[in-house]
Amino acid sequence: MRRNLLIGAVVIVLGVTVWFFWSGGMFSMSRVDPSVRKLQEPFQLVWTDFWLDGGSVGIRIVDRDSRTVEFTLPVFIDSPRPPRYDRLFVGDVHFSTNVVEVPHPEETKRMLADIVDRYVSSGPQHDTAVIALRGAPKDYVRTYLRVWLRQ
């Protein structure tokens, strides 16, 4: 009986560990927006920020050839609370007239989350961007653990 409990506990701990550290970067490159596909790694700069307009998130990526691409996940006045971040625009880090909506943004958002996860140091900007892009339970857990450990 004790042996079964120990095996069960080990399996649960391993499962949680794998879930927590598993890369969320599973995306199909063919469905990623061309503006992101053409970027060349390693990136010179990956910058994220959020605005107090309701929670809009902006991302700027400069690749190794100094090509810059900017994205925004806007929050509009009529957006539900909490925001769903289901629309992605390319062309600026904040919603403006010169942005173009990315059609079917899910794969692009997964790739951007992977890029932000690898290139932006942890902190509020990283956490907000990854949660807005991917929103996986592990992102929330990592954020809350990080905040809790800082206190």
Residues 132-150: tens digit of each pLDDT: 888 888 888 888 888 888 7
Q: How far apart are CA 88 and CA 97, in angstroms?
A: 14
DSSP state for residue 64 in the 8-state scheme:
T
pLDDT interval class at 11 (50, 70, 90): confident
User: What pLDDT is attached to residue 71?
Assistant: 93
Distance between the two ends of the chain, CA-based, in angstroms?
40
Q: Which residue has the higher pLDDT, 62 or 95?
A: 62
Q: How far apart are CA 129 and CA 95, in angstroms?
A: 15
Q: How far apart are CA 114 and CA 66, in angstroms?
A: 20
H helix or E strand, kind and range, residue 69: strand 68-73
User: What pLDDT is attached to residue 140?
Assistant: 83
Instruction: Assess whether pLDDT exceeds 80 at residue 8.
Output: yes
Residue with tokens 């691409």: 69
Residues 24-46: tens digit of each pLDDT: 556 677 788 899 989 999 999 99
User: What pLDDT is attached to residue 59?
Assistant: 94
DSSP state for residue 30 in the 8-state scheme:
G
User: What pLDDT is attached to residue 25?
Assistant: 55
Backbone angles phi, psi at 136, to 5 degrees: -75, 150
* Domain boundary assignment for the chain: 26-150
